[in-house]
Amino acid sequence: MKPSRRTALWTISLFLMTIFSGATPAVARPGPGAEETTRLVKEADEAYQNGNFRLAIEKYQKAMQWIGEKKELAQTKQELFQTMTSLALTYFTIQENVKAEKQLADLVLINPNQELDPEFYPPKFLEIFRNVQKNNLGSLAVTSSPPGADVTLGGNKLGVTPLTVEKILKGKYELKAELKDHVPASREIIVQAAMENREDLQFEALKPVVEKSQPLPSRKAKKKKKLSPLIIVGGAAVVAAMVVLLSGKKASDKKELRSLAFTQSLAMPIDMLTPTTMLLNVGGVPAKIERVDFRVVVGHQNHMEDLTINIVGCDNRTLYNIWNRAQTTSYPTVISGNTDAFNSVAPNGTWRLLVQNPGRSAGGEIREFTLRIYFYQ
């Protein structure tokens, strides 16, 4: 039976569309016990190849949820990365580049070392991916004097100085270094995106401890005339009076530690896979930050361990993590504490609570975002 004219035209259109898009998504490799996920990804690939892009998007998103249930497996992580790339490519194919860019940004956030094969993906798609990397990643070069120090960044070992590490997510980190027979070095740094960040560490050699022997008292000292008790008492009284006067002066000069609280109470649904942001406007703080107390109320009844929650300062750069994935708790969850991570940030402006849910199930909401900012006045 010959195909109809309509069927032939549709086949030609699909062929041309495939050529101009430059690629089709790759099939994710199967992982242990992942037959259903493999089948779903295969169906998504077939829907893409057949031009049914909306169905492909739906199936890729569902596959990502299933993969999230076994995210602890290394092979499953590769499945997740490939499926996220395929979903971004599908958005790109239907010219929804904003969604494609957001999907690639989520991918870089969980896997900064992700790379795309230039022989497989279209040049314009690769250009979007490179821009996402540029906006989120920077490199770090660490030198030291003397060299040969063991360096860790945010608790992760980087290597021995001198060293250069590519593709580090922008943000605030604690840089530590240790060198034998030298005082350990530690500092807080900010990794800027789209640039090489440089840090030079100067080590101070440990000084040997030398115990000094106490000299024996001379005969002349033994024969020293004893002071009169009245002189001793009078001198003590003068010293005590001076201490009281000086302490009173210091107390009067000391500034008082004050605080202002800011709260955003609003039920905001948590999106699946794309970051959810709650804004909090801070104003009227007259001095620099001494400490920040935070209180966040989040509800996700079944899978709080899927969430990653960060506070972003009003400089849109300083980031502080308050909830890591794999933590569990009751429902709803109240997360509270304090930090001095924002002491170098100007207090007044728009702060953000950033909730990421790339896990196994949708749902949940942000209920409250409260900051209490302490300052001296």
Q: Which tokens sit at 200?
A: 């030079």
CA distance 86 to 68: 16
Look up residue 37 and give its two tokens. 């996920």
Q: Does the reported pTM lie above 0.75?
A: no
Closest CA to 25 of 79, 81, 90, 77: 90
CA gap 323, 300 in Å, rounded: 13
CATH number of 137-202: 2.60.40.10
pLDDT of residue 80: 86
Domain ranges of the chain: 5-121, 137-202, 257-376
Find all residues with CB under 8 Å of 185, minimum gap 6, and list them.
Answer: 144, 149, 176, 177, 178, 179, 201, 202, 203
Assign domain 257-376 to its CATH architecture: Sandwich (2.60)
Query: Which of these, 96, 81, 94, 79, lies nearest to 41 by C-alpha position?
Result: 79
Name residue 7's amino acid. T
pLDDT, residue 224, reads: 53
CA distance 256 to 13: 73
Pairwise CA distance, residues 288 & 375, whole Å: 6
Strand order across the beta sheet in which 171-178 lies:
156-160, 150-153, 171-178, 185-191
Helix axes 74-93, 5-21, angle to 10 degrees: 110
Q: What is the pLDDT along the chain (377 residues), one digit of tens a residue?
A: 444 444 444 444 544 444 444 455 544 444 434 688 888 999 999 999 999 999 999 999 998 888 776 655 556 788 888 999 999 999 999 999 999 999 999 999 989 999 999 998 999 999 999 999 999 999 999 999 999 999 999 889 999 999 999 999 999 999 999 999 999 999 999 999 999 999 999 999 987 766 555 666 666 555 555 555 555 555 666 666 676 666 655 544 568 989 999 999 888 888 876 788 899 999 999 999 999 999 999 888 767 777 888 899 988 888 888 887 555 566 788 889 999 999 888 899 999 998 888 766 777 889 999 999 999 98
Give CA–CA dist 70/27, Å, rounded: 18
3-state secondary structure of 87: helix
Using CA atoms, how far residue 312 sits from 109, 321, 325, 369, in Å, is: 15, 9, 18, 12
Q: What is the Cα–Cα distance from 306 to 289, expressed in whole angstroms?
A: 32
- Token pair for 321: 């993590």
Q: Are strands 137-145 and 257-269 parallel, antiparallel or unpaired?
A: unpaired
List the 333-339 sheet strands across, edge first.
Answer: 257-269, 365-376, 291-299, 333-339
